[in-house]
Copies of this chain bind each other. A is one copy, B any other.
Amino acid sequence: MARTNPAHRRITLHDVAQFCGVSYQTVSRVVNNNPHVSKETRRRVLRAIKELNYQPNHVARSLVTRRSNLLEVITFGSNHYGPSQMVAHVEQAARQQGYNLILTNISHMSLDEIRAAINSLSGRLVDGLIMITPVKGVEYDELADLCDGIPFVMIDTQLGSTTPSVVINQWYGSQLATQHLIDLGHRAICEISGPLNWHGAVARHESWRATLAAAGISPGQSAEGDWTAVGGYQAAVRLIESRAHFTALVAGNDQMALGAMRALREAGLRVPQDVSVVGFDDIPEAVCFEPPLTTIRQDFDLLGSQSVEYLLDLMKRPDTPLQQRVLYPTLIERQSTLPLS
């Protein structure tokens, strides 16, 4: 097998060129599939490349082409199911398109943190940027300013904004959930929302209210959770202790639904006989909850590939219109909801 040189100096274009008696430019042409090279020469060069185990130096190439084949994703809250799914699928899509991905997870969503993340990359020449910004406090203009010309798209940002972004319509999802309960005859419908500094949490929360209002129903109580099961448990406990009467519960995500169901059970309430519960996300475990959870499914796979696709468009044709692309979630009915008896 072709082993590398012991001196541990990387093989360069020049080495290959010398090896088969052509100029480095010719080798470069072969490497880049330039048609202006004779069949015979190409064959010889190709063999030399293999023989010497030549690997083009991306760094040198980037220096002159000003492109790196590198995308960056800046994410917040990637310990939560949604963001982590987004990252995973973005990575997959990027790799399919021949790009590598730099991952930066920031722990406090502030402009300063984002600035730091971008700056730490700024000299690094990433070709494009995907930002997963599920919480409030970051405006498009500031970001555009920060990125200074490098194309970017946002994921999971505010619905209805005109920034280049791909989002799942959370409003619609929560409407599906709430309407489902209304259709089952429920009228006393409480909510456990996500943290209200998250766009998605606000959208789901307001849609819950609006959907009830549209049906002429006054909303039940709402308690704010933190996306975790424990947070959902505590929120449900607060709801129960406030002596609110309700026959149905909309949870901001599946984990909180899990915690809520635990709290309900501890309070002697049966799900779904006494209280119907619907979650959000359709995490893989939801089908095995006790009882299996009715929930809203989001297509994170599509979200990832759409974002990367959009970003690549933006990179290739800077005149690509800036828009928000919107995906729609679906309702998954299981056994945690029941018609009001």
A interface with B by C-beta (< 8 Å):
4, 8, 55-63, 68, 70, 78-79, 84, 87-88, 91-92, 95, 100-105, 107, 119-125, 148-149, 228-230, 232-233, 255, 258-259, 261-262, 265, 284-285, 287-290, 292
Known: A79-B88, A285-B229. A57 touches B100 (CB 8 A): no
Between-chain CB contacts (< 8 Å), 6 pairs: A55-B122, A59-B124, A79-B88, A100-B102, A261-B290, A285-B285
Known: A63-B59, A103-B101, A104-B100. A255 touches B285 (CB 8 A): yes
Q: A100-B102, A100-B120 are in contact. List 4 more A-B contacts (CB 8 A).
A: A59-B63, A59-B124, A92-B105, A230-B287
**A57 to B64 CA separation, bound complex (whole angstroms):** 12
**A229 to B290 CA separation, bound complex (whole angstroms):** 12
Residue of B nearest to A64 (CB): B59
**A265 to B287 CA separation, bound complex (whole angstroms):** 14
- Chain B neighbourhood of A125, CB < 8 A: 57-59
Contact A284 B57, beta carbon cutoff 8 Å: no
Count of chain copies: 2
Contact A288 B230, beta carbon cutoff 8 Å: yes
Residue of B nearest to A103 (CB): B103
Known: A59-B123, A230-B288. A103 touches B79 (CB 8 A): no
**A47 to B99 CA separation, bound complex (whole angstroms):** 37
Residue of B nearest to A122 (CB): B55
- Chain B neighbourhood of A84, CB < 8 A: 84, 88
Known: A59-B62, A148-B4. A262 touches B284 (CB 8 A): no
Q: Nearest chain B CB to A16's CB is how many angstroms away?
A: 14
Contact B124 A58, beta carbon cutoff 8 Å: yes
Our pick among B70, B88, B122, B229 for the contact of A287 (Cβ within 8 Å) is B229
Known: A103-B101, A105-B91. A230 touches B68 (CB 8 A): no
**A216 to B8 CA separation, bound complex (whole angstroms):** 56
Our pick among B57, B92, B288 for the contact of A233 (Cβ within 8 Å) is B288
Q: Nearest chain B CB to A54's CB is how many angstroms away?
A: 10
Contact B124 A258, beta carbon cutoff 8 Å: no
What are the 10 tightest A-B residue pairs by CB atom distance, in nearest-first order? A229-B288, A58-B123, A58-B124, A103-B103, A229-B285, A290-B290, A259-B288, A262-B288, A59-B62, A55-B123
